[in-house]
């Protein structure tokens, strides 16, 4: 079986979307009976010999596509909300060589429909990580021109996303997203839930000593993460008020693309700007706790699973706990994730854990939750059930 995986995200991108794409790619490459995988994704500008976040096995190859303003404009002129439409002839050639054609991101639904009409006889699947139209709907505001632009984007995304329901199968990152998509567009014929899955985190880069670190990572070019960064800065300020008498100081660390630009208004944070894969790994390895103050946006927050993969306990707002119901409902694992509802509650929870609880014990619980629920092997088994049921 030969599989083609197409994504608007970058396979080497250090964002939540990139992380989920690597989760899917790694699981697909490990499916029994798959003899070849072609992964088409956004070129992140890394040349030969550059450090990679994902190195595919020998039977899996990568194809990187350039995304730039001319292609974005051309896509908009064609009333399509992703640059991938400008590569349609190339994607058609790859689809003809595959037995199964998979699209990461539900805004690829219309693209799938176009390719399926030209290349019939294949199995087509949509692997979504958000209900894109709902995410766009939530992000409305600004001046009149901005509101008009957002309304146009919303209609384009709905138009592109709706045909996803006609795929041979469609997957969702959470049960909540499966329900939400059905409310918007109707129930697809066959569905599954593929939560984020990862390889275990590499803790060999951890450096002994130093103050405890509370980490928040994201791609800060996206509005939900910018809001979360403001919350994180508020949590840090409130923690310092609570912990004025603490003997040991605590560092609040923010890491990710555009971190320096977006965190500039918030003093008192240590910034790791646009880290390489190795730097991001080292940053996770050094963290004591992971804070996820994400308050809006659909989908499973992949960085929570990444924190668990390093054995890092998580304190998060309810939005960031979506998709982690299995861990939260299991008495063996629920201590790994603490859900709070405000900046004040998050600061208090961080202070309580750092001052009174055994972090090593919580870390072991976090890693156990990851191994049981969000490991790469479990994702491969879920994909095998979908692929071999065709």
One-character DSSP codes across 145-209: HHHHHHHHHHHHHHHHHGGGGGSSEEEESSHHHHHHHHHHH---SSEEE----BPPP--TT--S-
Q: Is residue 203 part of a domain?
A: no
Residue 271 lies in a domain: yes
Spatial contact of 153 and 99, defined as CB atoms under 8 Å apart: no
The pLDDT of residue 32: 92
Nearest to 383 by CA among 130, 125, 16: 125
Residues 168 and 51 in one domain: yes
Whether residue 341 is contained in a domain is answered as yes
State the residue range of the domain holding 96: 2-196+376-387
Q: What is the pLDDT of residue 352?
A: 92
- The pLDDT mean for the chain works out to 90
Q: What dihedral angle (degrees, nearest 10) is formed by the CA atoms of 16, 19, 25, 31?
A: -100
Residue 191 and residue 269 in one domain: no
Residue 125 reports pLDDT greater than 90: yes
Q: Is residue 208 part of a domain?
A: no
Query: For residue 260, is pLDDT > 80?
Result: yes
* Predicted pLDDT at 15: 75
The pLDDT value recorded for residue 196 is: 86
Confirm whether 68 is domain-assigned. yes
Determine, yes or no, domain membership for 204.
no
Q: Are 107 and 157 in contact (CB under 8 A)?
A: yes
Residues 74 and 134 in one domain: yes
For residue 17, tell me if it sits in a domain.
Answer: yes
Residues 238 and 176 in one domain: no
Task: Count Cα neighbours of 260 within 13 Å in the Cβ-side half-sphere.
Answer: 4
Cβ-based neighbours of 276, under 8 Å, separated by 6 or more: 51
Claim to verify: residue 192 and residue 228 sit in the same structural domain:
no
Task: Tell me what pLDDT residue 175 has.
Answer: 87
Higher pLDDT, 49 or 117: 117
**CATH code assigned at 354:** 3.40.50.2000
> What pTM did the predictor assign?
0.74
The count of domains in the chain is: 2
Q: In this structure, are 180 and 239 located in the same domain?
A: no
Instruction: Give the model confidence (pLDDT) of 357-382 as tens digits.
Output: 789 999 999 999 999 999 888 899 88
The pLDDT > 90 percentage for the chain reads 64
Angle of helix 16-29 versus helix 302-309 axis, rounded to 10: 70
Comparing C-alpha atoms, which of 122, 121, 139, 140 is closest to residue 130?
139
| Sign of the CA dihedral running 183, 185, 188, 192 | negative
Calculate mean pLDDT across residues 184-199: 90
Q: Output the pLDDT for position 49.
A: 57
- Does residue 323 share a domain with residue 189? no
Per-residue pLDDT tens for 4-26?
Answer: 999 999 998 877 788 889 989 99
Kindly indicate the confidence band of residue 138, based on its pLDDT and cuts at 50, 70 and 90: low
Choose the weakest-confidence range: 102-106, 238-242, 342-346. Answer: 238-242
Residues 256 and 125 both lie in one domain? no
* pLDDT for residue 271 is more than 90: yes
Q: CA–CA separation, 20 vs 186, rounded Å? A: 24
**Pair 258, 219: CB distance under 8 Å:** yes
104-122: pLDDT as tens digits: 999 999 999 999 999 999 9
| 235 and 188 assigned to the same domain | no
**What is the C-alpha radius of gyration for the chain, rounded to an integer number of angstroms?**
21
Residues 246 and 182 in one domain: no
Residues 133 and 162 in one domain: yes
Answer yes or no: is 205 within a domain.
Answer: no
Same domain (yes/no): 173, 228:
no
Least confident range from 59-68, 167-176, 232-241, 298-307: namely 298-307
């Amino acid at each position: 079986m030969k599989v083609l995986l197409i994504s608007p995200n970058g396979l080497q991108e250090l964002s939540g979307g990139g992380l989920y794409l690597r989760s899917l790619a790694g699981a697909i490459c490990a499916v029994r009976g798959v003899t070849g995988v072609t992964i088409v994704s956004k070129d992140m500008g890394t040349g030969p010999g550059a450090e990679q976040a994902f190195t595919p096995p020998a039977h899996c190859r990568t194809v990187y596509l350039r995304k730039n303003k001319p292609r974005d404009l051309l896509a908009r002129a064609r009333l399509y909300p992703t640059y991938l439409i400008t590569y349609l002839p190339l994607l058609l050639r790859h689809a003809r060589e595959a037995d199964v054609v998979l699209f990461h991101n539900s805004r690829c639904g219309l693209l799938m429909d176009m390719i399926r009409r030209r290349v019939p006889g294949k199995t087509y699947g949509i692997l979504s990580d958000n209900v894109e139209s709902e995410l766009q709907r939530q992000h409305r505001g600004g001046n009149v021109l901005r509101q008009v632009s957002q309304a146009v984007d919303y209609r384009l995304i709905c138009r592109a996303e709706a045909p996803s329901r006609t795929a041979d199968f469609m997957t969702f990152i959470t049960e909540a997203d499966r329900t939400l998509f059905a409310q918007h567009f109707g129930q697809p014929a066959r569905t599954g839930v593929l939560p984020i899955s990862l390889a275990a985190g590499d803790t060999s880069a951890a450096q002994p000593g130093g103050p405890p670190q509370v980490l928040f990572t994201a791609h800060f070019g996206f509005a939900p993460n910018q809001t979360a960064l403001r919350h994180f800065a508020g949590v840090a300020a409130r923690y310092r008020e609570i912990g004025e008498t603490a003997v040991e100081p605590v560092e609040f660390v923010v890491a990710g693309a555009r971190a320096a630009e977006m965190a500039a208004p918030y003093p008192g944070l240590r910034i790791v700007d646009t880290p390489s894969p190795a730097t991001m790994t080292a940053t996770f390895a050094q963290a004591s706790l992971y804070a996820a103050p994400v308050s809006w946006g659909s989908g499973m927050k992949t960085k929570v699973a990444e924190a668990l993969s390093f054995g890092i306990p998580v304190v998060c707002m309810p939005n960031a706990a979506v998709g982690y119901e299995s861990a939260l409902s299991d008495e063996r694992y629920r201590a790994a994730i603490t859900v709070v509802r405000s900046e004040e509650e998050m600061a208090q929870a961080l202070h309580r854990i750092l001052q009174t609880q055994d972090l090593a014990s919580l870390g072991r619980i976090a890693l156990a939750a990851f191994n049981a629920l969000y490991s790469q092997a479990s994702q491969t088994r879920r994909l095998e059930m979908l692929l071999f049921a065709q």
